[in-house]
Amino acid sequence: MSTEQPQSPFETISETELSREDRYRQLFNGYVGTPFRIIWTDWRARLGLAIISSFLLMGTVGVSLFDPPRASEGPLLLGAFQSWAFPLGTDSLGRGILGQIVYATPAMLKMITAGALFATTMATGWGLFAGYKGGTIDRLMMSFVDVLMTIPGLPLVVVLAAILEPRNPYLVGIILTINGWAGFARQLRAEVLKLRQNSYVEASRTMGISTFSIITKDILPNVMPLIVVSFVTRARNVIIASVGLYFLGILPSSTLNWGLMLNSAYTSGGIYSPEQAHWLYAPMITIVLLSLGLLLFAQGCDRIFNPRIRARHAKKSENESSDDASFHGETM
């Protein structure tokens, strides 16, 4: 071992040597154990995760448990909770309401995932890079964002839907958020302008660390709460926008959709007839429930990126791991 004294703090070598097992344990605790522990201590995150998980199960396993809804499979306009075969009742064609909701879920989940991922990825990449680079690059990128923000979202979606006639759920999700990322990109860029002046970012620049590493390791973790909230907001926007546009008949339909169910129930007089109310309220409650689950989960996830809470749970995980290692060492 070298006995030379370091000339600067950057040349200091850690006196602790970690084994490969210790490094794997630290990585597991950092990316899986600690976030899961934080989520589990927050009731909002637990409830939100349970709601989202139930919709994921409904969209994957549920379609194999129910037969595809078809006309005349049951009595016409059967009310809710009157039959085990059709727990949510039937519509005017005798199709089960629950079966329609289940078979509309996979397409909705694809739309939500595609739209939220597209908008969040675009806004995050655009805002982080523009804010960190600054200067001419920042001005050019923000000018493009300003142009996008001046374009009305709904007319743009209507025009694109008329031209492309999208039937793929992934494409529908992207079209619904085609310019919805611009506002968050500008908000994120303002945060990065403040973070790039911090001493640890300056130190990374002085040490010659690449721009990509500085952005992903020094800046990105500080804006993750904003990104998570934005992802959930975009997801909820996709739900509401897709249901509204399918309800109005602007988006072409090839599969079952909650918006189409609302349209059919409304045009059949479901809003005025108590006998048809279950047909109208079932998809409405489904939409509200999924939106609520996403909102609660986002509020709970905000604690994951709180440095004080995260450090407390990480320390608890390390202590438990050390105790386990000591116990196994004594018993061997």
Neighbour tally for 41: CB within 10 Å: 13
- pLDDT value at 300 more than 70: yes
What is the pLDDT at residue 153?
87
Instruction: Give the pLDDT band (50/70/90) at residue 127.
Output: very high
* Closest by CA position to 235, among listed 191, 185, 181, 189: 181
Q: Which has the minimum average pLDDT: 104-113, 163-172, 317-326?
A: 317-326
For tokens 């959930």, name the residue. Answer: 232
Neighbour tally for 55: CB within 10 Å: 19
> Tens digits of per-residue pLDDT, 64-98?
888 888 888 889 999 889 988 899 999 989 999 99
> Tens digits of per-residue pLDDT, 112-124?
999 999 999 999 9
Q: Which has the minimum average pLDDT: 32-46, 187-201, 203-217, 234-248?
A: 32-46
Say what the pTM is. Answer: 0.80
- pLDDT value at 216 more than 70: yes
The letter for the amino acid at 120 is: T
- pLDDT value at 136 more than 50: yes
Q: Which has the minimum average pLDDT: 14-23, 44-53, 275-284?
A: 14-23
What is the pLDDT at residue 310?
62
* Closest by CA position to 166, among listed 115, 103, 123, 119: 115
What is the pLDDT at residue 285?
95
- Do residues 279 and 268 lie in contact, with contact meaning Cβ atoms separated by under 8 Å? yes
- Count the residues in the chain: 332
* Cα–Cα distance measured from residue 126 to residue 143, given in angstroms and rounded to the nearest whole number: 12
- pLDDT value at 40 more than 60: yes
Helix axes 97-133, 220-248, angle to 10 degrees: 140
What is the pLDDT at residue 1?
46
What is the pLDDT at residue 31?
66
- Which sign does the torsion angle of CA 87, 88, 90, 96 carry? negative
- Do residues 231 and 116 lie in contact, with contact meaning Cβ atoms separated by under 8 Å? yes
Question: 165 in the Ramachandran plot: left (φ > 0), alpha (ψ -120 to 50) or beta?
Answer: left
The pair phi, psi for residue 96, each rounded to 5°, is -70, 135
